[in-house]
Structure 1
Amino acid sequence: MTGPTGLSARRTAPDLARGLMLVLIAVANAHLYLVDRPIGYRGYPAGLVGGDRVVAVVQMVLVDGRVYPLFAALVGYGLARLADRAPEGVLRRRGVVLIGVGALHGVLLFPGDIIGAYGLVVLLIAPVVATGPAAGPSAGSSRGLLAAAGAIAAFGVLLSTGQGTPQGVPTVPSIGAPTVGAFLAAHPGEWFATTLFSALLTAPAVLVGVVIARSGTLDDPVAHRRRLALWAVGGLAASVMLGLPLALAVVGTWVPAGVAAGLAGAAHTAGGYAGALGLLGVMGLLASVSWPGRDLIAAAGTWSMTLYLSQSVVFVAVFATVAGGLGSSASLTTATVTGLLVWLVGVLVAGLLARAGHRGPAELLVRRATYGHAPS
């Protein structure tokens, strides 16, 4: 077994995807902090007007339900790379560590945490992802992993039929809690429920990410531009078409009912998987050419977990009722712009530090807990 991959040996495309993914996460989470108002579909405020309606439609077809499967695919990519150099026990330990980080994040800050869900998936699939002589007959073929991903995704889509009706309450109710005690007391239950449901919905993307890593597509994006372009065009087209019905419901253009509501919810989730692949294709294409800021964003991508956690710190400080309190009055556009600014500052700070050879604090913690005292 070897230790963690050194900074100089990392691939540009996956790190660039992680850096760009962070802006999508910021945008996707921003509306969840808008509380103390009527809540409609997918946690968006009801009765959106003006520019907020445009922002909501764009988010629904390209970001909402798309970014966390994208994140999951990159987790799967990283898991496959870890399996190339470490035994199954290390993979399982990585899953346990991620669950621990997610629990701390969810209980102390944001119970909509996704890290714990990825940790649970990693822990469960470690035996079939492990490679090498010690892996034994349990190691899964790429075809088998794709078949399992398809079956789990179909079940997740079926469960998503309920998303075609208005929520009525915020996705994360504790954001509007009036006291710090109530804010913290609600977190364990919210985090646990979110983790289980998110693990189910994102497990297919983690498995697909493992297969993508094995294919080498992101390792050499220049040589795979045709495949990446196919992902981008096909994935994003499906994402828009499948996400548009529920997007129109979010802005009040129509009110789905009965079977139509169930189909709209299921289509949105199915479009999320397609959209994640489409976004990954776009990011791979962006990695295949040089452009200003590319290397800085890729460097920031090596701090992806640290930046993800720091976004929650800023959002809670600005929007939570027990802190800045802007969640009760900010518009969707304001929340989205706040997310963009948080990402931009994070990229500038983390990118410069990473290029100077520094790893993110969360990344160092996870690596030390996973590898013990292996050199970093």
Structure 2
Amino acid sequence: MHPASPEGPESPASPAGTPRPRAVVPDLARGVMLLVIALAHAQVLSAGSTAGGALGRAVAALHTIFIDSRGYPMFAALFGYGVVQILARRGLDADARAARRLTRRRGGWMVVFGLFHSLLLFHGDILAAYGLLSLVLVAALRSPDGRLLLHAAIGSVVGALVFGVAALFIPDGSEAVSDPWLSAAYRVVGWIVSTPLFAVMAAGPFLLGIWAARRRLLERPERHAASLRRTAVVGIAAAAVGALPLAALKAELWPGGPAVALAAATALHTLTGVAGGLGYAALLAVLATRIGERRGALVTALLACGERSLTCYLAQSLAWLLLFEPYFAGLGRALTPQAAAAIGLGVWALTVVLADALRRTGRPGPAEALLRRLTYGARPAGQRAPGARAHLDGGMHA
């Protein structure tokens, strides 16, 4: 795996027979960033509403600067990080053939999950894109650090440019389909087109996540506190500055701008979103070091949400279906930006409560349990994965 760190090489594996405990920071980051995902999706599904006054315009601007295209790169990085974690937990980080086989098997099932997610619930699936990355970029698990970082940089730039151009052709969501069967068909057609696009956009952060996992940046944040603080400040600031041109265009401060201006602003917004997503992750790592073992009810619930991120992500999509599709509640066209933000916050909060209820009963998320069973097969009663709790290998992280 070519692990290394400023303090010297670090192997992600634990001594023989000693299972490595589940890292706190990645789960905390997933739990919090599911809020960013919820806020982003709620705004997209309510696009077209021009009401809301000054407050609505302010909420829309803040969404562009701090939310839009800031959650997916962080999740992509956490996904790459989680792949390395799972291989280490199962003792496969030194077995290239077994690691490729496991990674591709999980990736294939995630593509299947993504297909059914899109067919049944939501048009903005990202699961299949992550699965596709597992299938295509599995060789990156053995790449030297220098090559990995170079490919991550190239991937981030290419992904931003591709999305900048693609944004000119993406519908704004103003045309709702009232027939549920036709809506499902449209979602699947969109899934076929969007999955490769999302995979290209997520490739750079995914590779950066692999690089970070080799240094265990999120498992030992206290050793990298200074670097994490710099990453948080620089990354979030770069994302905010990089979002300003697109925010100005959306606010029509530059009315009638050419298509090339929109493409360039979108590409810059997407590229700096990678820095923002990494900055958010670093900020949460810094906060986690200060929290330490003093975990109250909120932090415990957020950790439970992060451990069950796949289930919570799918639960959000069920809520979007029921709330926004015209053949159910059909709220999309009636919401102001601030109302959409409130709904996003509320849906996320409900998933956190759901995850914490599962934690209290000692149960994994049902989606995590299904993915694990499909990937590893059934185990005899009472037998668990090596060095793992019942829900250890679940979630969107791998």
What TM-score bracket applies, with the shorter chain setting the length?
0.7 to 0.9
**Cα distance in 2, alignment partners of residues 25 and 186 from structure 1:** 22
> Shift of residue 147 of structure 1?
1.1
Aligned to 1:74: 78
Q: Is the 8 A contact 1:172 1:190 kept in 2?
A: no
Per-residue CA deviations over 1:330-375 (Å, capped at 9, x if unaligned) read 1121111111011112112212322442100010011111111353
TM-score, structure 1 as length reference:
0.88
Residue correspondence of structure 1 range 1-376 to structure 2 within 5 A:
9-34=21-46, 37=48, 45=49, 49-84=53-88, 85=90, 86=92, 87=98, 88-129=100-141, 139-162=142-165, 169-171=171-173, 176-255=176-255, 256-257=257-258, 259-290=260-291, 292=296, 293-374=298-379, 375=384, 376=390
The 1:227–1:171 alpha-carbon spacing in structure 2 relative to 1, beyond 3 Å, is farther
Residue 257 of structure 1, CA deviation: 2.5
* Code of the aligned partner of 1:77: Y
- Cα distance between partner residues in 2 of 1:70 and 1:311: 18
Is the alpha carbon distance of 1:172 and 1:13 closer, same or farther for their aligned partners in structure 2, counting shifts above 3 Å? farther
**SS of the residue 2:362 aligns to:** coil
> Which residue identity does 1:330 align to in structure 2?
L
How far off is 1:48 after superposition? 6.5
* Counterpart AA for 1:353: L
**CA spacing shift, 1:91–1:166, aligned 2, 3 Å:** closer
**1:126 CA drift (Å):** 1.6
**CA distance 1:257–1:59, change in 2 (3 Å):** same
SS of alignment partner, residue 219 of structure 1: coil
Higher mean C-alpha deviation, range 254-263 or range 354-363: 254-263
The aligned amino acid for 1:151 is: I
**Large movers: runs of 4+ above 4 Å:** 45-48, 163-167
Identity %: 33
Matched pairs, number = 353
Root mean square deviation of aligned Cα: 2.3
On the 8 A contact 1:112/1:172 being kept in 2, the answer is: no
Give the superposition deviation at 1:165: 5.5
Given residue 194 of structure 1, which amino acid in structure 2 is its aligned partner? S
Deviation at 1:128, TM superposition (A): 2.8
The 1-side partners of 2:322 and 2:246 are apart by: 31
Select the structure that is richer in helix.
1
How does the TM-score come out when normalised to structure 2? 0.83
Please tell me whether the aligned partners of residues 24 and 67 of structure 1 are also in contact (alpha carbons under 8 angstroms). Answer: yes
**Residue of structure 2 in register with 1:135 after alignment:** none
Inter-partner Cα distance in structure 1 for 2:24 and 2:209? 16
Aligned in 2, Cα 1:296/1:111: closer, same or farther, shift over 3 Å?
A: same
Deviations 1:252-286 (A, max 9, x none): 22233255333212211111111111111111112
Amino acid at match of 1:332: P
Q: Distance in 2 between matches of 1:82 and 1:164?
A: 35
User: 2:168, 2:368 → 1: CA distance?
Assistant: 39
Distance change in 2, residues 1:327/1:261 (3 Å)? closer
Bigger mean CA offset, 55-64 vs 235-244: 55-64
Distance 1:47 1:264, change over 3 A: farther
What is the distance in 2 between the residues matched to 1:188 and 1:164?
19
Distance 1:70 1:251 in 2: 26
Taking a change above 3 Å as real, the CA distance of residues 193 and 47 of structure 1, as seen in their structure-2 partners, is farther
Decide whether the 8 Å contact of 2:249 with 2:262 is kept in 1. Answer: no
CA distance in structure 1 between the aligned counterparts of 2:241 and 2:251, rounded to whole angstroms:
16
Structure 1 residue 47: Cα displacement: 7.3
Q: State the one-letter code of the partner of 2:187.
A: H
In structure 1, distance between residues paired with 2:260 and 2:305: 44
The residue type equivalent to 2:153 in the other structure is G
Structure 1 residue 171 displacement after superposition: 4.5
> How far does residue 246 in structure 1 lie from its aligned partner after superposition?
0.2
